[in-house]
């Protein structure tokens, strides 16, 4: 422990939640009733976004070195979770400005980064123009071109399925600057629509979507629009590299969207179960109780991995290429499964307009499906892990890991070090420390945790050994990776989540959160860790674990719900309770 008693992990969340008020109060601007009505009308939440601007949320998209409020990217993760807990449409629409600005934080010079920061802090909406209708996420195939002319570039072509393409004032645009294309054939340009000549750009029609119905999902077309040389972000030809590095941040922080959606879904399902049961107890039906406990355990594991990932942006940037892909695969996927499981448990009521929460459960379910697609879909992120197989095997067999960096990523007694974008790389040559640390973490856990917990971790370590043996046997090919390789990458991600959970418990078991009356029960006898490992082992080796720990976990979840606490191993008061 580093001895920073003033460092309260979720102090920001508590402040924002108090400011926004009880989401069940229809008089509040950012209320559940309001977002449900906006969803029915398929209307953008403009009033809500104005309120969020008014309380300073754009500051949490800008690093403190450029005048923003971000001390660590945990702050951005928390902001995304706070918004998504109330409405994913709002969270996705508002937080997109972080994605639009991230290239400046990664590759912009101080003057340019300062300019982008000033725009964001003033409320300017910035979008990220990457994808095209004919090429999807294949950025190397992009046809939007920027031709050198008159001390700048003339831009022509269309970007499509762009969040805030119509609302955004500035588009951070990936364009082909070398006719031959290739890895060094693309650059990033800041296209300020307020300064472009009339007739050189136009909005494309909005796209109707199944979820996030009110979001501004559309496109933009350019016809010789001029951008000066000063609008270039990073070096000429460095656009693709900057985007890939920027995505390491955005993929990690997207976990906040999933965590917020999971909190709302679990809260709605818990309310329904308590209504069914006598005496304010969860439903007496064992299946319902087990479903709630499983979902709660899955949320705790996802939170720990997401939080460790956000801190790893600072503490383990050289490993972020693989760790961000693990987070982006695991967190949204596990939350998709969590929401589906809860919906099945609730039955038809989950999808009725007059069901629990005014039909909000079906909105959460619809909205969250898009999260796994952002910034590289599930297969894209698993493919990143597959491409790292040789490095990961060598690093694991060597037995080393970045102990200082890993502990800085999980130890909540102090903030992580300052973010250094210069340490980001396109390939993690050091592997993935949460996984490589498992043998050392297990040895420490065996001395500190109850035997049942150590047994779970030992089983995870044995599976991790086997996963690496199978990874070593994989032979890369020029074509698409075989299906078995994707299953192997999935297993690796589960092992990484387990490794993060073990290390997180070890480094925080003496944190004030472990003694706080609101969360002490979760930390006592490593209850939350045992439950999280049990769920991960069930996915890795179905039927291999005794789920009895989930029966002990359920009362903790119910107590957090009734007391108006965030579903979390960390204490965090919310402006709502289970009444």
Task: Supply the DSSP string of 61-108, one letter for each residue.
Answer: GSBGGGTSSBSSTHHHHHHHHHHHHH-HHHHHHHHHHHHHHHHHHHH-
Q: d(Cα 27, Cα 388) in Å, to the nearest integer?
A: 51
Query: What are the CA-CA distances from residue 468 to residues 199, 383, 486, 539 (Å)?
Result: 56, 16, 14, 17
Q: Two tokens at 52? A: 């969020």
pLDDT at 394: 97
CB of 160 within 8 A of CB of 129? no
**Are the beta carbons of 232 and 188 closer than 8 angstroms?**
yes
Low-confidence ranges of the chain (pLDDT < 70): 1-7, 276-286, 352-358, 579
pLDDT at position 572: 97
Residue pair 301/497 in contact by the 8 Å Cβ criterion: yes
Place of tokens 């101080």: 110
Per-residue model confidence (pLDDT) at position 8: 85
**Contact, 202 vs 157, CB < 8 A?**
no
- For 163, the 3-state DSSP assignment is strand
How buried is residue 305: exposed, middle or buried, by Cβ count under 10 Å (0-12/13-18/19+)? buried
Structure tokens belonging to residue 127: 């979008």
| CA–CA separation, 394 and 193 (whole Å) | 49
**CATH fold of the domain at 127-235:** Butyryl-CoA Dehydrogenase, subunit A; domain 2 (2.40.110)
Helix (H, G, I), strand (E, B) or coil at 559: helix
Question: CA–CA separation, 320 vs 245, rounded Å?
Answer: 9
- State both tokens at 210: 């199944």
Q: Which residues pair with 217 in a beta bridge?
A: 163
Q: What is the CATH number of domain 11-124?
A: 1.10.540.10
Q: For residue 324, what pLDDT is reported?
A: 98
Quote the CA–CA distance of 78 and 11 in Å, as a whole number. Answer: 10
What stretch of H or E contains 271? helix 255-276
162 - beta bridge partners? 218
SS3 177: coil
Report whether 335 contacts 262 (CB < 8 A): yes
Q: Tell me the CB-side half-sphere exposure of residue 215, using CA atoms within 13 A.
A: 28
Domain ranges of the chain: 11-124, 127-235, 254-563
Token pair recorded at residue 174:
């990936």
What percent of the residues of the chain are helix, what percent strand, and what percent coil, each to the nearest 5? 60, 10, 30
């Amino acid at each position: 422990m580093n001895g920073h008693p003033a460092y309260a992990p979720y102090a920001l969340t508590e402040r924002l939640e108090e400011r926004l008020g009880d989401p069940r109060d229809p008089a509040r601007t950012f209320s559940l009733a309001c977002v449900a009505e906006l969803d029915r009308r398929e209307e953008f939440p403009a009033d809500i976004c104005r309120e969020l601007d008014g309380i300073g949320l754009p500051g949490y998209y800008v690093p403190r070195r450029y005048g923003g409020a971000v001390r660590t990217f945990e702050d951005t993760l928390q902001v995304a979770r706070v918004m998504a807990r109330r409405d994913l449409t709002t969270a996705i629409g508002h937080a997109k400005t972080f994605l639009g600005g991230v290239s400046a934080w990664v590759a912009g010079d101080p003057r340019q980064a300062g300019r982008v920061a000033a725009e964001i802090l003033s409320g300017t909406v910035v979008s990220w123009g990457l994808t095209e209708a004919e090429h999807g996420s294949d950025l190397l195939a992009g046809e939007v071109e920027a031709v050198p002319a008159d001390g700048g570039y003339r831009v022509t072509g269309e970007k499509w399925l762009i969040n805030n393409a119509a609302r955004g004032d500035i588009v951070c645009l990936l364009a082909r600057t070398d006719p031959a294309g290739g890895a060094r054939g693309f650059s990033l340009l800041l296209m300020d629509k307020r300064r472009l000549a009339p007739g050189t750009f136009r909005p494309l029609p909005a796209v109707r979507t199944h979820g996030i119905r009110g979001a501004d999902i559309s496109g933009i077309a350019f016809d010789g629009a001029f951008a000066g040389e000063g609008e270039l972000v990073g070096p000429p030809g460095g656009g693709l590299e900057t985007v890939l590095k920027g995505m390491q941040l955005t993929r990690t922080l997207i976990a906040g969207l999933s965590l917020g959606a999971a909190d709302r879904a679990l809260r709605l399902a818990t309310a329904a179960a308590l209504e069914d049961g006598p005496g304010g107890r969860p439903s007496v039906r064992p299946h319902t109780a087990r479903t709630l406990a499983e979902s709660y355990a899955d949320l705790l594991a996802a939170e720990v991995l997401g939080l460790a990932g956000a801190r790893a942006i600072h503490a383990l940037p050289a490993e972020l290429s693989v760790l961000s892909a693990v987070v982006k695969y695991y967190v949204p996927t596990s939350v998709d499964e969590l929401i589906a499981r809860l919906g099945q448990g609730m039955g038809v009521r989950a999808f009725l307009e007059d069901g629990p929460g005014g039909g909000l459960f079906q909105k959460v379910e619809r909205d969250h499906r898009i999260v796994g697609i952002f910034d590289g879909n599930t297969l894209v992120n698993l493919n990143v892990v597959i491409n790292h197989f040789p490095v990961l095997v060598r690093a694991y067999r060597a037995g080393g890991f970045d102990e200082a960096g890993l502990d800085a990523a999980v130890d909540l007694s102090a903030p992580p070090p300052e973010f250094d974008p210069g340490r980001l790389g396109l390939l993690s040559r050091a592997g993935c420390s949460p996984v490589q640390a498992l043998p050392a973490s297990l040895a420490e856990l065996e001395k500190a945790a109850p035997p049942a917990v150590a047994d779970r971790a030992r089983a995870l370590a044995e599976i991790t050994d086997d996963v690496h043996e199978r990874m070593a046997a994989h032979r890369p090919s020029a074509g698409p990776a075989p299906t078995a390789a994707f299953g192997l990458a999935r297993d690796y991600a589960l092992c990484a989540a387990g490794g993060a959970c073990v290390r997180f418990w070890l480094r925080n078991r003496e944190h004030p959160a472990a003694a706080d009356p609101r969360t002490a029960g979760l930390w006592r006898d490593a209850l939350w860790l045992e439950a999280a490992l049990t769920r991960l082992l069930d996915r890795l080796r179905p039927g291999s674990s005794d789920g009895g720990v989930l029966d002990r976990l359920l009362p903790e979840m119910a107590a957090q719900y009734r007391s108006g606490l965030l579903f979390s191993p960390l204490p965090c008061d919310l402006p709502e309770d289970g009444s």
